[in-house]
Amino acid sequence: MNHLGDMPVEEFRRAAIRAVDWITEYFAHPETYPVLSRVEPKAVKEALPASPPSSAEPIDEILDDFERIVVPGITHWNHPGFFAYFSITGSGPGVLGELFSAALNVNGMLWQTSPAATELEEVTLDWLRQLLGLPVGFEGVIMDTASVSSLCAITAARHALDLDIRARGMAGRPDLPLLCLYTSDQAHSSIEKAALVLGIGQRGVRKIATDPAFRMDVTRLEAAISADRAAGYRPFCVVATVGTTSTTSIDPVPAIAAVCQREALWLHVDAAYAGSAALVPEYRQVLDGCAMADSLVVNPHKWLFTPIDCSVLYTRRPDDLTGAFSLVPEYLRSGMDGEIRNYMDWGVSLGRRFRALKLWMVMRAFGQEGLSKRIAGHIQLARQFAAWVDEHPEFERLAPTPLSTVCFRAVPAALRSDTAASAAGGDKAIDDFNRELLRRVNASGEVFLSHTTLRGRHTLRLAIGNLRTTERHVARAWEILTTESARLTSEL
Ligand SMILES: Cc1ncc(COP(=O)(O)O)c(C=O)c1O
């Protein structure tokens, strides 16, 4: 470019068409790529110059390098064989929303810095509230991730204690008791991380044991609260999980909510993954009891086909959230406070991307019926896969499958005799077998599964959540797993 200022618009149009053509081809044929990137460590770094360009480079060369250097280093979350972690989709309507959001480049910190950004967020989140079956009174805000949503919710819970922590902090205060937060031993690490950030510390986190179906044991929760009160500590918050990360187990929220009400504790529900299932009429009960929660997080970027990042925090106590976070310097005063919502008051960050746009486009383009059928389809595919596991003599399921994630492992007959190790919960030979099986299966390039540990056992996880995944892909995953398992068994 031999001028100052942005790229000329005609050049932008040409490059944008090339980019959209590339994306369209990519969406049409994601299976062209190995799902798990095959690059060696440092390959991407070494393909890039160590110092920045001193003069302008042609956009076509940059796009060429995107295809040549960046794409090979991509693990394809859009690949229909992506079954790892929680499988997600940046759907077409969502990508269009991102495109407009990038082009508009608004910062939605205040209502007046883009009224549509604030009001579309309010309306879209109220639609989502209705779809999830949450009552009126739950007010929403979009954050980047569930980790941050939960951090903000727990900050509000701490603020609600009236210990004047906002003004006086926590350090050097002998008057403050140890604050205790309760969650299950299956909760996501983001909850403990929030405790690290908020001065609760790992010492204040109680990981309540779970039942055989990996759900929080409410009797143990009650016992832990009593013990902490007896010790002079201050219980303040319980985090229940609807859809735990390893197994998608669902904590008994109605019973937990009753404990919270009796004990006057803030109830936060982490429904980051599974909350979306409540859109399906037959699965609405996944959020049973959540109407009693003080706050709840659900991530449209997990199972609602919205490109990452988009996490929604709902709260029935917005005054505690804004009470914890609102801090308005003069330059951000608009004189309209009170009449309108300024989302900068609802969390840590001042600057806010226009994330509501993509969620609005997704909700409109699929509609409740479309969203619900897609989620129900994923659950059905997981059921099918779970049935194959159950029928196979050399595989077993290691957890119930309430939603779209299956936890299982191979148990070759030749290794089953290792009962002493098994009794000790070790299953070392079986664990090693499954580790190697996962490595080989993922090396196929056709599928990508991840793992967890359940009751000391190395566990394989197959998570379905991608709109491009069909029965054919799930069947192929099973075929690769059984073939590789048989091959590995023959090598024993
Ligand atoms: C149950 C649960 N909560 C929270 C998170 C964290 O999500 P995020 O990446 O949006 O912070 C995850 C991630 O998988 C999760 O499974």
Number of domains in the chain: 2
Under the banding of pLDDT at 50, 70 and 90, the label for residue 425 is low
**Is residue 241 within 6 Å of ligand 1 at its C-beta?**
yes
User: Nearest C-alpha to atom 7 of ligand 1 is from which residue?
Assistant: 146
The two three-digit tokens of residue 324, written as one number: 């914890």
User: Nearest C-alpha to atom 9 of ligand 1 is from which residue?
Assistant: 145
Averaged pLDDT for residues 156-167: 96
Question: Nearest to residue 268, comparing CAs of 176, 164, 160, 172?
Answer: 160
Q: Is 222 a member of any domain?
A: yes
For residue range 320-351, what is the model confidence (pLDDT) as tens digits?
999 999 999 999 998 886 789 999 999 999 99
Under the banding of pLDDT at 50, 70 and 90, the label for residue 423 is low
**Is residue 408 within 6 Å of ligand 1 at its C-beta?**
no
Q: Is 143 a member of any domain?
A: yes
Instruction: Choose one of 192, 197, 273 to mutate for the ligand 1 pocket test, by most ligand atoms within 8 angstroms of C-beta.
Output: 273
Same-domain status, 480 and 445 = yes
Per DSSP (E only), the strands in 132-277 are: 139-143, 179-184, 205-208, 234-241, 266-270
Q: Which atom of ligand 1 is nearest to the CA of 243?
A: 1
Residue span of the structural domain in which 286 resides: 107-353
Q: Mean pLDDT across the chain, nearest whole number?
A: 96
Averaged pLDDT for residues 456-484: 97
Q: Is 208 a member of any domain?
A: yes
Does residue 419 have a pLDDT over 70?
no
Which residue, 353, 372, 387, sits at the end of a domain? 353
pLDDT for 196 equals 97
pLDDT for 418 equals 54
The two three-digit tokens of residue 478, written as one number: 């099973």
The two three-digit tokens of residue 152, written as one number: 């903000």
In the β-sheet with 395-397, what is the strand arrangement from edge to edge?
395-397, 405-410, 457-463, 450-454
pLDDT for 422 equals 56
pLDDT for 420 equals 52
The two three-digit tokens of residue 216, written as one number: 């929080």
Same-domain status, 318 and 459 = no
Please give the single-letter amino acid code of residue 384.
Q
User: Nearest C-alpha to atom 15 of ligand 1 is from which residue?
Assistant: 245
Please give the single-letter amino acid code of residue 1.
M
pLDDT for 492 equals 86
In the chain, the percentage of residues whose pLDDT exceeds 70 is 97
**Is residue 303 within 6 Å of ligand 1 at its C-beta?**
no
> Would you say the pTM of this structure is higher than 0.85?
yes
Residues 6 or more apart in contact with residue 251 via CB below 8 angstroms = 184, 215, 216, 240, 241, 242, 244
Count other C-beta atoms under 10 Å from residue 167's C-beta: 6
Q: Which atom of ligand 1 is nearest to the CA of 299?
A: 10
**Is residue 188 within 6 Å of ligand 1 at its C-beta?**
yes
Q: Is 35 a member of any domain?
A: no
For residue range 274-318, what is the model confidence (pLDDT) as tens digits?
999 999 999 999 999 999 999 999 999 999 999 999 999 999 999
Q: Is 18 a member of any domain?
A: no
The two three-digit tokens of residue 365, written as one number: 């383009």
**Is residue 270 within 6 Å of ligand 1 at its C-beta?**
yes
